[in-house]
């Protein structure tokens, strides 16, 4: 099939990693794949090198940008429409809110027969003012009219989209976000190197977090929980993998709480380095207020690291309470601190949860399974077009 994927920007992030892996996998399965993206990156880092290695054609539109800009958005829509008409794609598959809205409208105008959109996380969510939520809901409902089928990275995304009136449930298919599971294997030497590099000993209990240092990614809640957790377990140390605009703000807050010496911030890390860092963790915390499917938790479990997470959005579809980790009500920082301390107190529990987590994630979150299911969806939709297509 002749397939085009569209995403706003190729930063280091879950939606972007998902998209690049999908394009690479479809190309390896013999399809002709084009990936369209805007040029912007940011403090999160870039996946452009990974995209160049994905065996697909890359198209960069300068006008395809993350922020709302009427002129750029109009230019992007026109460019996409022209490209779709010229290349006569069988499938246009969009990702993220901006690319999804512009790309689906352009695909419909160009007469693309199959238009698919992946919901990596709802564009309107609990962290936004109500007026913003209403605006994006209106746009998403309009774009849904151009959409042949939706892919949800978690059942929770389907539930939220159906509740918002975007489309009936039968137009949604859950295809869980895939990870390169073969890269995640425990290594005692890598664990030793990671911990010594952070200045932590084997007696320390290292709590890892992988997220952009920005609002709503969970650091506010984690910082509030840390003094309570440390009071219960003084051996706790923390590693934050990532960077972002709020880095200095968070570090000042840690200093004011007397916790700065307990925390290491890695800065930007390429996804290929993540497994070696996770090897140094004893448990992972995910306290984001808004999420689709938390890939960081999947990565942690693949390294047999148990999780503590808020119970919102797709997190309960990754963390099975008492089996692979612990869930806490969203926003409950006291509960978050208690769950961290609970796992910190028992290496036997961490080991059992970690082993179960790896087995679960190998089965559910392999990138090859994701690509197979996406390909099967395309072929099923193509079959509905009937004879003479």
User: For each of the chain's 389 residues, which pLDDT tens digit applies?
Assistant: 999 999 999 988 889 999 999 999 999 999 999 999 998 777 777 899 999 999 999 999 889 987 777 888 899 999 999 999 999 999 999 998 889 999 999 999 999 999 999 999 877 777 678 888 888 888 899 999 999 999 999 999 999 999 999 999 999 999 999 999 999 999 999 999 999 999 999 999 999 999 989 888 999 999 999 999 999 999 999 999 998 889 999 999 999 999 999 999 999 888 889 999 999 999 999 999 878 899 999 999 999 999 999 999 999 999 999 999 999 999 999 999 999 999 999 999 999 999 999 999 999 999 999 999 999 999 999 986 544 44
d(CA 80, CA 59): 10
pLDDT of residue 389: 42
Q: Which two tokens stand for residue 358?
A: 């790896």
**Contact assessment for residue 25 and residue 376, using Cβ atoms and an 8 Å cutoff:** no
Phi first, then psi, for residue 189 (nearest 5°) are -70, -40
Q: Which of 184, 125, 196 is nearest to 157 (CA)?
A: 125
Ramachandran angles phi, psi of 201, nearest 5°: -100, 175
The domains of the chain are located at 2-178+366-383, 181-364
- Domain pair 2-178+366-383 / 181-364, same fold: yes
pLDDT at position 387 = 45
Which residue is it, tokens 């397939």?
Answer: 3
pTM of the model: 0.90
340 close to 207: Cβ distance less than 8 angstroms: yes
**Residue ranges with strand state E in the chain:** 2-7, 32-37, 57-60, 91-95, 114-119, 149-152, 172-174, 205-210, 236-241, 263-265, 283-286, 307-310, 325-328
What percent of the chain is helix, strand and coil (3-state, nearest 5)?
50, 15, 35
**7 sits in which H/E element:** strand 2-7
**DSSP string for residues in 275-327:** HHHHTT-SEEEE--SS-SS-HHHHHHHHTT--EEEE--TTGGGT--BTTTEEE
CATH superfamily name and code, 181-364: Glycogen Phosphorylase B; (3.40.50.2000)
CATH class of the structural domain 2-178+366-383: alpha beta
How high is the pLDDT of residue 385? Answer: 59
């Amino acid at each position: 099939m002749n397939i085009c994927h569209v995403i706003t920007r190729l930063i280091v992030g879950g939606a972007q990693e998902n998209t690049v892996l999908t394009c690479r996998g479809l190309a390896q399965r013999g399809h002709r794949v084009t990936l369209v993206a805007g040029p912007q990156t940011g403090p999160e880092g870039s996946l452009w090198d990974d995209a160049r290695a994905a065996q697909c054609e890359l198209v960069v539109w300068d006008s395809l940008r993350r922020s709302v800009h009427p002129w750029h958005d109009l230019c992007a829509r026109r460019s996409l429409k022209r490209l779709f008409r010229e290349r006569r794609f069988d499938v246009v598959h969009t990702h993220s809110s901006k690319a999804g809205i512009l790309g689906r409208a352009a695909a419909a105008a160009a007469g693309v027969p199959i238009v698919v959109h992946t919901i990596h996380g709802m564009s309107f969510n609990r962290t936004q003012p109500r007026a913003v939520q209403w605006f994006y809901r209106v746009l998403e409902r309009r774009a849904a009219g151009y959409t042949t089928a939706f892919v949800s990275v978690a059942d929770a995304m389907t539930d939220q989209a159906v509740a918002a009136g975007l489309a009936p449930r039968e137009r949604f298919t859950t295809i869980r976000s895939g990870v390169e599971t073969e890269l995640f294997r425990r290594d005692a030497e890598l664990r030793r190197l990671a911990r010594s590099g952070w200045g932590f000993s084997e007696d320390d209990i290292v709590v890892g977090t992988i997220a952009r240092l920005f609002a709503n990614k969970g650091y506010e809640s984690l910082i509030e929980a840390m003094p309570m957790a440390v009071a219960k377990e003084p051996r706790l140390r923390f590693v934050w993998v990532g960077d972002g605009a709020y880095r200095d703000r968070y570090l000042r807050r840690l200093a004011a709480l007397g916790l700065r010496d307990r925390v290491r911030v890695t800065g930007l890390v390429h996804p290929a380095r993540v497994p070696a860092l996770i090897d140094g963790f004893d448990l992972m915390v995910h306290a984001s207020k808004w999420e689709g499917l938390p890939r960081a938790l999947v990565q942690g479990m693949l390294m047999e690291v148990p999780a503590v997470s808020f119970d919102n959005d797709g997190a309960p579809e990754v963390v099975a309470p008492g089996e692979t980790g612990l869930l806490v009500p969203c926003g409950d920082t006291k509960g978050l601190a208690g769950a961290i301390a609970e796992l910190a107190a028992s290496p036997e529990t961490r080991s059992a949860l970690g082993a179960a987590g790896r087995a679960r994630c190998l089965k559910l979150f392999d990138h090859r399974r994701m690509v197979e299911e996406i390909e099967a969806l395309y072929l099923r939709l193509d079959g509905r077009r009937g004879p003479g297509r």
